[in-house]
Each structure stands twice: as C-alpha cells, then as structure tokens.
C-alpha cells in the first residue's frame, strides 16, 4: 500500500543512532501523558493545585487533553496545550509538596 518501514531498512548502527536521538522525545511524551492523566484523576490534590496555578498565571481554566492511541491527533492536542500552559506544568512539577 505504499507504506515503507524506514527503521527496518536501517543498518544496526543507524538504528541505534535513531533510537538514541528519539529517546528524549519519547521520555517527554511519557511524562506529559502521565502528568495529564494524574491531574484529571486526582480530584482532591492535583486538580485543585492545577486550577490554583492557572489562576496564579491568569490562564483560562483548561485541562491538558490526554493522548489516546485510537484518537487521531490527540498527541498534537496534548502537546499544543502543554506548550501553552508550560509555566503551570513546570511550576507543578517543581513543587515537591504535591
């Protein structure tokens, strides 16, 4: 159908280099997915703290959408809001009391 698996066509050395370069992106996505999920499912601690941070930074109240495998473009939606609300995400991740 025209699909080409470029990774399968790589040599072992090229594949290792590719995986080394992609790994940081995978780690960021994994952490952001976990963050978004934890905030949504923690109605007593994280969600109120998230809303408080939004108010501090004078941002509209909006949750970071979760990335869903079967939903087209959900990774983009998650990243788009995370970039827009980066100050809030950074502040919450830096707060060791949460």
- Structural domain boundaries, residue 42: 24-94
* 42 within domain boundaries: yes
Which pLDDT belongs to residue 4? 82
pTM equals: 0.82
| Whole-number average pLDDT of the chain | 93
* 39 within domain boundaries: yes
When divided into structural domains, the chain yields a total of 1
* Torsion from C-alpha of 89, 91, 95, 98, nearest 10 degrees: -40
* 14 within domain boundaries: no
* 10 within domain boundaries: no
Which pLDDT belongs to residue 65? 94
Say if CB 64 and CB 83 are below 8 A apart.
no
pLDDT, tens only, 55-95: 999 999 999 999 998 999 999 999 999 999 999 999 999 98
* 86 within domain boundaries: yes
* 19 within domain boundaries: no
* 57 within domain boundaries: yes
Q: Which residues contact 33 (CB under 8 A, 6 or more apart)?
A: 66, 67, 78
């Amino acid at each position: 159908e025209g699909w080409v698996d470029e990774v399968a066509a790589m040599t072992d050395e090229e594949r290792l280099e590719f995986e080394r370069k992609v790994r940081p992106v995978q780690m960021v996505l994994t952490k952001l997915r976990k963050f978004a999920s934890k905030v949504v499912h923690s109605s007593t601690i994280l969600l109120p703290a998230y809303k408080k941070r939004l108010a501090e930074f004078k941002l509209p109240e909006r949750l970071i959408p979760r990335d869903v495998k079967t939903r087209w473009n959900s990774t983009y939606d998650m990243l788009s809001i995370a970039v827009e609300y980066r100050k809030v995400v950074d502040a919450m991740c830096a707060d060791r009391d949460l």
